[in-house]
Structure 1
Amino acid sequence: MTASPVITIEKDKQVVRKTYPNYKVIVLNDDFNTFQHVAECLIRNIPGMTSDRAWILTEQVHYEGQAIVWVGPQEQAELYHQQLSREGLTMAPLEAA
């Protein structure tokens, strides 16, 4: 009995890495939160949020009906969304970016 040759097929060793999708944290306009409260909530809960940026976003919420206040990984987006919601802000559902 003769041994037949073994053919080895090499699999592609290239690994394709996919990044996790980012999510948008969106604050909606409402009739009961003041500009001051919205801006303070953004400063308190969104890392790196400056007072100037918070006021620009607050005006955007008021005049355009909504503003994207943060974009990033899902777990952090969920945290910021929950924190802002607990502060009484009206939030849109998390949305993939």
Structure 2
Amino acid sequence: MAVETIQERSTSTVRKPAPRYKVLLHNDDFNSMEHVVKSLMETVSSLTMPQAVSIMMEAHVNGIALVITCAQEHAEFYCEGLKSRGLTSTIEPDE
């Protein structure tokens, strides 16, 4: 006689967190520092003036700066918002 084993299947689902993306600001020689700070604050409403100034300065000095890390849909929205204001921005997966 064969012995059968019964496997219980879990009815709960495991939710994986959505992958996060980095929104990056690239330095350019076209926009004023004031315009960059204003654009950052208009696009990412959670940024304070000191944070926006810090991001602008990091991009100015290092050529690139991290603006925010968030879900892909939000990252694309922020990236497009920065581009629509004449800034150079990209997104990449947060690893």
Interval of TM-score (by shorter of Structure 1 and Structure 2): 0.7 to 0.9
Structure-1 residue corresponding to 2:57: 59
The count of aligned residue pairs is: 92
Alpha-carbon offset, residue 33 of structure 1? 1.1
Give % identity: 35
Q: CA RMSD in A?
A: 1.8
Q: What letter is aligned with 1:75?
A: E
Q: Is 1:39 the equivalent of 2:37?
A: yes
Structure-2 residue corresponding to 1:22: 20
Query: TM-score, structure 1 length as denominator?
Result: 0.85
Structure whose CA Rg is larger? 1
Q: What letter is aligned with 2:18?
A: Y
Q: Is 1:91 the equivalent of 2:89?
A: yes
Partner-residue secondary structure (3-state), 2:31 = coil
Alpha-carbon offset, residue 81 of structure 1? 0.5
Alpha-carbon offset, residue 48 of structure 1? 1.2
Alpha-carbon offset, residue 90 of structure 1? 0.9
Structure 1 gaps of 5+ residues are 1-5
| Stretches of 4+ aligned residues off by more than 6 angstroms | none
Query: TM-score, structure 2 length as denominator?
Result: 0.87
Partner-residue secondary structure (3-state), 1:19 = coil
Alpha-carbon offset, residue 9 of structure 1? 3.2
Q: What letter is aligned with 2:92?
A: E
